[in-house]
Amino acid sequence: MLCLLLFWEFAKIGLVCVGGGYASMPLIQAAVVDTYHWLTLSEFIDIFTISQMTPGPIGINAATFSGMKVAGLPGSIAATLGFVTPSFILCLILARLLLRYGSIGAIQGVLNGLRPAVVALICAAGLSFIALTLFDVDRFPATIAAMKERFDPKSAVILALAVVAVRKKANVIHILLACGVLGVALGMIG
Amino acid sequence: MDDNKEKRGGHFYRALFWSTFWISALTVGGGFVIISLLKTKYVDEFGWLDDKETLDLAALAQSMPGVMAVNASILLGYRMAGVPGALTALAATILPPLITLSLIAQAYEAFASSPVVRLALQGMQCGATALIVSVAVDLVRKKCKEKQTIPLLILVGTFVANFFFGVNLMILIVIDGLAGLMFLQGAEAKQKLDV
């Protein structure tokens, strides 16, 4: 029963959260902390921290970890499946509609406007990531002095090597793994 | 978007599952990072999709409820191989966090305070940064080659609004969609040759 309830609660969250992983966190908190008292607030903050630290989409991480805390492995599976079920149904409907009506001029117009927007958003995410990697903040520091103070030379070295590997068309997955190993190795030396 | 659901063999599904699985398992960062990494596999390495389709579906994934990375994998999977493709990509996206977090939940304190874990995650973040920047440069270069004024204005305007002024993504998507509806309805024929 608890698993069914988890599935249902996370399905509702998955249906109403628009705008990415961070937007889902207050909704998850409202359900698991405030309504059902499955978790304490400090446990929830742990979940938030862990979700940010671990690879993978933050919303999925939070759903999995909440479910795990509440009802073990079956709970984590129920919460995760609940969370993605509305997305799955809505995306399939939308994809079908797009295949059928995508050639209509108006829809082509909208898509023509959205394509450069997505490129812009990828660029913005990329720049934020450079700032995060080199200076450990998501905006570039305002002054040269602040940049010098926050600069992380080890990350810069790994980033430079990764750029070379990307340009040489190395396998994406190998690059990520190698960067993880390099991070540990350089960190241990320093 | 025409011929959906081409016949795909077992090899395709294995490649789709494992490439998506490892990207989901190793990528630190949000939706646009994962989209960029999926693009390097699906478009650049395997040639299953083109840039244009990927960008269209990324815009839709951002606009739908739920997690963008999950929506993107469902939409891209569906575009490549129908419902079986969508299910494969979805499973490959949600399994890694399920496995990782099941393990972490057993030893939360040890994980959260481990310097080795922190260093490995920082290292992987450097890798993800290099990849997303490369994808961004690649896409911008292609957009510039098209030499179309309005798409370039949208690109620059959206970038400035989001990066420098922190304007909400949903607002930007709506504005850019409307701009496309008003000004770019006939632009299709010219674009087809390129991206």
A1-31 residue pLDDT tens = 889 999 999 999 888 877 666 677 888 888 8
Is B27 in contact with A116 (Cβ distance < 8 A)? no
pLDDT attached to residue B83: 94
For range B88-96, the mean pLDDT: 94
With a pLDDT cut of 90, the percent of chain B lying above it is: 53
For chain B, what is the HEC assignment? CCCCCCCCCHHHHHHHHHHHHHHHHHCCCCHHHHHHHHHHHHHHHCCCCCHHHHHHHHHHHHHCECCHHHHHHHHHHHHHHHHHHHHHHHHHHHHHHHHHHHHHHHCHHHHHHCHHHHHHHHHHHHHHHHHHHHHHHHHHHHHHHHCCHHHHHHHHHHHHHHHCCCCCHHHHHHHHHHHHHHHCCCCHHHHCCCC
Nearest to A119 among B55, B125, B168 (CB): B55
Asked if the structure places residue B96 within a domain, the reply is yes
Apex A17 CA angle, A11 and A21, nearest 5: 100
Q: Could you tell me if B173 lies within 8 Å of chain A, comparing CB atoms? A: yes
The full set of domain ranges for chain A reads: 2-101, 105-189
Measure A183 CA to nearest chain B CA, in Å: 4
Q: Given a cut of 80, is residue B108 above it in pLDDT?
A: no
Residue B162 lies in a domain: no
Does the residue B47 lie in any domain? yes
Task: For residues B140-168, give the mean pLDDT.
Answer: 91
A190 vs B: CB within 8 A: no
Q: In this model, does residue B139 exceed pLDDT 70?
A: yes
Q: Is residue B123 part of a domain?
A: no
Q: In the prediction, which pLDDT does B186 show?
A: 73
Q: Position of tokens 């057993």?
A: B106
Q: Does B167 touch chain A (CB under 8 A)?
A: no
**CB–CB of B80/A95 below 8 Å?**
no
For residues B184 and B180, give the distance between their C-alpha atoms in angstroms, rounded to a whole number. 5
Sole residue written with tokens 């995650």: B121
Domain annotation covers residue B160:
no
pLDDT of B94 strictly over 80: yes
Residue range B45-57: average pLDDT? 92
Q: How high is the pLDDT of residue B189?
A: 46
pLDDT in tens, B1-37: 444 445 678 899 999 999 999 999 988 877 888 899 9
Domain-embedded: residue B80: yes
Q: Closest Cα to residue B127, out of A133, A122, A52, A154?
A: A133
The reply to whether A180 touches chain B by the CB within 8 Å rule is yes
Asked if the Cβ–Cβ distance from B121 to A178 is below 8 Å, we say no
Q: Quote the mean pLDDT of chain A.
A: 87
Contacts of B116 in chain A (CB under 8 A): 184
User: B68: domain range?
Assistant: 10-108
Could you give phi then psi for residue B4, rounded to 5 degrees?
A: -70, 170
CA–CA dist A61, B103 (Å, integer)? 12
Distance of CA B60 to the CA centre of its chain: 11
User: What's the domain count of chain B?
Assistant: 1
Question: pLDDT 10s per residue in chain A (190 long)?
Answer: 889 999 999 999 888 877 666 677 888 888 888 898 888 888 888 777 777 777 777 788 888 888 988 888 999 999 999 999 999 999 999 999 988 888 888 888 998 999 999 999 999 989 988 998 899 877 788 888 888 888 999 999 999 999 999 999 899 899 999 999 999 999 998 7
